[in-house]
Structure 1
Amino acid sequence: MIYPWHQSQWRQLAAYWQNQPNAWLFTGRENTGKTAFARHVGQALLCERPSENREPCGVCPSCHLFSQNSHPDFYELTPELPEGEAVGRKLLQIKIDAVRDVIGNIQLTSVRGGRRVVLVHPAESMNVQAANGLLKALEEPPEGVVFLLVTHARDKLLPTIKSRCRQMVLPAPSREAALQYLQQQGTDDAENLLAFHGGAPLFEPAPELDEMRGELLDLLSEPRLLAILDYAAAFDKLKQPLAVFIGWMQKWLTDVGLAQQKMPPLYYPEYAESLAKTAARSDAAALFALTGRLNALNPYGYHTLSVKMQLEYLLIDYLNFYKSASKGKK
């Protein structure tokens, strides 16, 4: 399927259907429908009776196989979690063995006698060896093979991979379209969740994390040492990576910075009053320094270091910022 906000891009692609490249790179923000768009392209490429506007028919044998995730000429490369394991604090990757398996298969004859399609998503999750392995296939693609790469972080891809793909930017929906979609899906607290996810409506529901994030925002509004220690222990029990917490904090500090400039919050509109109070008692230099210390931990977001200790360090650092800012304003 294609989401309504990508219909224009589909028409653009379908208009030049006979001029298909060997590889597409679809770029844009996460959770906005890029992978669904790429799947639709893949189904259309494999369809045996497409319509005049290149839409897949949905009823031919190829479309039936595709809908059952069993088309023999459709290959998918995505990070896979070993059976029986939880995601937890692992940074999932597409590894070289998976790439080699797919490349070996596409060297063979097409099972149904048509094209073969390889979908890679998110492409930036390939490790170095996997990326170099795929690059060799992109440099000398087998006849009748089309690669569809989807990325949320274009700059993380090898320049040589990007240069061998025809690129298409798939835009995020407008706030109105995204909010309408969430409301149609019956999403509770749609406006606040949409704001937190940066206007991207296709996020996975995570009520446990939403509750933990709400507790953090209450704590950041009125930080206290004992509450900080309790929160760090509670977050650690969820076995979530440090990167999750860093993301929440970065958005809070961004909104504090906006409040310092008398601008409305971007990510946490329901905490506008608390953000304004924090901004009123702090200055830009102190906020900039705190943000820098937080950002310095970005490379360790999926490291095996103690998440509990890092949370304690970051939150106590925030507490000191909060208290010193108050003294500085007196």
Structure 2
Amino acid sequence: MIYPWHQQAWRQLAEHWQNQPNAWLFTGKENTGKIAFARFVAQALLCERPSENRQPCGECASCHLFSQNSHPDFYELTPEIPEGEAVGRKLLQIKIDAVREIVDNIYLTTVRGGRRVVLVHPAESMNIQAANGLLKALEEPPQHVVFLLVTHARDKLLPTIKSRCRQMVLTAPGREEALAYLQGQGVDNAASLLAFHSGAPLFEAAPELDDMRDELLDILAAPRLLVMLDYAAAFDRQKQPLAVVIDCLQKWLIDIGLAQQNMPPLYYPDFAAQSAQVAAQTDALKLFALTGRLNALAPYGHHTLSVKMQLESLLIEYLNFWQNK
């Protein structure tokens, strides 16, 4: 399946089908259909009776196996979620053992006599050992093996990996197209959710997080110390990573900065009046300082630090900012 906004990219790829590289790197915004696109390419590469425009037939033995997630020549490398474990506060990674297992297999004879395809997503989740292990295979690729790498954060990849892949940018849909898609899926409050998710329509539904975010925004609009401390304790009980709150706060501060320049909000259009009110009573320099604090903390958003204590500290800093202290 390819989403409508990626049809043009598929046509460009199909037109040069005979000039396939041994490795593709599909880049673009998260939650816009890049993995679905890569899977479609993988199925097309493995299909035994592709159509004239290179689309998979959906009927041959390879397509059947692919649809059942059991094709013996298709390998998928993605962070594993430990069975029975809470992973909300864990930074999931692709590790070297998983890379080694796949690399060992792709040097063997193909099962169905055609290509072998390795899909890696998100590629930036490989730790340094795993990335170096994959790099060796990219430097000396086995015959008839195609690597498909998908990344939401291209700059986090090793330059040597990027240099050994043919890169294709998969663009996100425009706002109207994305909004129409969400409304067609019956998503409630589609416009607000689309704004918060930066125009990426394929976000996972998370009603509990949406409620927690709305509660946080009400607090940020009119902060009180005891309410903030209660919120930090309640959030900690949900076992969510600090990255969730950092993301919400960063976007809220961006909207405040826009309001200080008499510009409309980007992420919270339903809270335009509240962000404008905060912008009117706060100082731009203090806003930049608080933003810098959040940016410095962001890399540790999934660290096993005390989320409650960190969140209390952040909210108190925000209260001081709101009070112009």
Partner of 2:99: 99
Partner of 1:114: 114
* 3-state SS in 1 of match to 2:26: strand
CA contact 2:283–2:324 (8 Å) conserved in 1: no
Matches of 2:110 and 2:295, distance apart in 1: 48
Partner of 1:237: 237
Matches of 2:16 and 2:4, distance apart in 1: 20
The one-letter amino acid paired with 2:55 is E
* 3-state SS in 2 of match to 1:167: strand
CA contact 2:282–2:323 (8 Å) conserved in 1: no
Matches of 2:253 and 2:276, distance apart in 1: 12
What are the superposed Cα offsets for residues 263-284 of structure 1, whole Å, 9 maximum, x if unpaired? 0000000000000000010121
Partner of 2:51: 51
The one-letter amino acid paired with 1:37 is F
Matches of 2:283 and 2:262, distance apart in 1: 13
Partner of 1:22: 22
TM-score normalised to structure 2 length: 0.99
Shift of 1:102: 0.4
Shift of 1:81: 1.1
Matches of 2:107 and 2:251, distance apart in 1: 46
Partner of 2:259: 259
Matches of 1:86 and 1:71, distance apart in 2: 30
Q: In angstroms, what is the RMSD of aligned CA positions?
A: 0.7
Report whether the alignment pairs 1:272 with 2:264: no
Unaligned runs of 5+ in 2: none
Matches of 1:103 and 1:255, distance apart in 2: 46
Provide runs of 4+ in structure 1 moved above 2 Å. Answer: none
* 3-state SS in 1 of match to 2:324: helix
Matches of 1:296 and 1:157, distance apart in 2: 20
What are the superposed Cα offsets for residues 24-76 of structure 1, whole Å, 9 maximum, x if unpaired? 00000000000000000000000000000000000111000000100000000
* 3-state SS in 1 of match to 2:203: coil
Partner of 1:296: 296
Shift of 1:87: 1.3
160-169 or 78-87: which moved more? 78-87
Partner of 2:87: 87
Partner of 1:215: 215
Partner of 2:61: 61
Report whether the alignment pairs 1:8 with 2:8: yes
Matches of 2:159 and 2:88, distance apart in 1: 31
The one-letter amino acid paired with 2:75 is Y
Matches of 2:159 and 2:320, distance apart in 1: 43
Shift of 1:302: 1.3
The one-letter amino acid paired with 1:299 is P
The one-letter amino acid paired with 1:259 is A
Superposed, which structure 2 residues align to 1:304-323 within 5 Å?
304-323=304-323
Unaligned runs of 5+ in 1: 326-330
Shift of 1:299: 2.2
The one-letter amino acid paired with 2:151 is T
Matches of 1:201 and 1:286, distance apart in 2: 33
* 3-state SS in 2 of match to 1:297: helix
Partner of 2:159: 159
Count the aligned residue pairs: 325
Matches of 1:160 and 1:317, distance apart in 2: 41
* 3-state SS in 2 of match to 1:56: coil
**% identical equivalent positions:** 79
CA contact 2:44–2:50 (8 Å) conserved in 1: yes
* 3-state SS in 1 of match to 2:148: strand
